[in-house]
Structure formats: C-alpha cells, structure tokens
Amino acid sequence: MKNKKRSIWERLTGSVNIDEEENEESRKDSMAGNNGGKKDRKQDNNWIEEENEEAELAVDVYQTPTDIIVQTMVAGVKPEDLELSIARDIVTISGVREEHRNIDEGNYFTKELYWGKFSRTLSLPQEVEPEEVEATEKHGLLTIRLRKVDKDKTNNVKVKSI
C-alpha cells in the first residue's frame, strides 16, 4: 500500500480501502505470477499498522459567509492535550488520547479504541485571519471557527499634519 495515512476511523475499526488493497494485490500478484490476484487474507497482515504511528483525524470542513468551520471528534482528550497551529491557509490539529487503564491483554474480548498520538493538517480553501480563531469542545466534538480574510474590506485613514 502507498504511504498514505489512514483515518482514525480506519485505525479504530482496522478497516482498509478495498480498491487500494485490490490494486496493490493485483500488482504484486501479476509481478509474482500468482493465482489471478487472489490472496489468503490470513497470510497477509501488512494492513496492520505500527503501534507508534500517528492516527489521522477525520474532519468536516465547511464555510459560512464569514468563517471556515473545521469539526472533528476528539472524545476522551483533555483540551490541554490538544494543540492547534493556525497559519493563513493551513490548520494543524494534534494531540494525544491517553489510556489510563491497567487491564491485562488476555482479558480483552475486543480492543478497537484508538489510544495514542493523532494529527491532521488541512490546506484551507481560503485565507483566514490566524489571530481571529475560536476553538470549542463540547461532548467530544471540537469546533474551530476561522475568520475568513475579507479581501474587499477597505480602510480610510486620515492623514495628520505634525
């Protein structure tokens, strides 16, 4: 598979993009001359990612007449564990979801929750004012409101004689 970051949903569920997986398998099998691109999934555990890798947040980005809004789920993360970096056309959200349980691995029936570092960098469709940002979290939903740069705005300045 390409070095593409998987979304936090893909990490949580262990899912893979079927089209990408089939294309990759077809390429590998055609090079190796295997049985028509079919593979036993139990033998191929390459889709399981490293524990130390950062997860990528899933986001919604939309606009109002004056703002660009970014929303993402950060349930279980304290606001002080979140970091936002805002430039005129780029937003980076990063943080850590820490697990505070001491449960023996053998006692789990299912373990799908994602714990660890996560981040997401977005190129914005329009320039924003980095100083005019409002970030709020409610019930695990982080909402970032970014004020659009008003390129039509003008300012008349009076000249003073000194």
Q: How far apart are CA 112 and CA 13, in angstroms?
A: 6
Mind listing the pLDDT tens digit for each residue in 59-79?
999 999 999 999 999 988 888
Assess contact for 37 and 58: CB atoms under 8 A. Answer: no
Nearest to 94 by CA among 103, 102, 106, 86: 86
Long-range contacts of 95-101 (CB under 8 A, 24+ apart): 95/119
Assess contact for 59 and 146: CB atoms under 8 A. Answer: no
Mind listing the pLDDT tens digit for each residue in 78-114?
888 899 999 999 999 999 888 777 888 888 888 887 8
What is the DSSP track for 34-97? Answer: -STT---GGG--TTSPPTTSPEE--EEEEE-SSEEEEEEE-TT--GGGEEEEE-SSEEEEEEEE
Structural tokens at position 2: 């390409």
Kindly list the structural domains of the chain, giving each domain's residue range(s) and its CATH number in brackets, ordered by start.
1-49 (no CATH), 54-149 (2.60.40.790)
Q: How far apart are CA 98 and CA 146, in angstroms?
A: 28
Mind listing the pLDDT tens digit for each residue in 117-135?
999 999 999 999 999 999 9
Nearest to 114 by CA among 7, 12, 10: 12
Q: What is the pLDDT of residue 23?
A: 58
Please, which pLDDT band fits residue 15 given cuts at 50, 70 and 90? low
Q: How far apart are CA 104 and CA 54, in angstroms?
A: 24
Reported pTM: 0.60
Q: What is the mean pLDDT of residues 22-36?
A: 56
